[in-house]
Amino acid sequence: MGDDKVKVVDATGSFCPGPLMELIGQLKEMEVGDVLELLSSDKGSAADVPEWVNKVGHEMVGTEEKDGVWHIRVRKLK
């Protein structure tokens, strides 16, 4: 984990297009193997993001909540 290249995307306050849309757009521009950390103030993201990540075939690295902000880590696998 310590060597992972992590890109942080702050999508707090993103109602439109929404945190998952931010994640989809940003992940496209990253290299396979890189990790993206999405910050979201929308608790729905904690369910929406893993659903999409599993369907497409990327990897959920972890999710935690700190002071009302969800930190969702996803590794790009393809």
Q: How far is the CB of 75 from other proteins (least distance, A)?
A: 16
72 binds other proteins (CB under 8 A): no
Nearer to other proteins, 21 or 60 (CB): 21
62 binds other proteins (CB under 8 A): no
Nearer to other proteins, 11 or 35 (CB): 11
The DSSP line for 35-75 is: EEEEEES-TTHHHHHHHHHHHHT-EEEEEEEETTEEEEEEE
Of these, 2, 3, 15, 67, which contacts other proteins (CB under 8 A)?
15
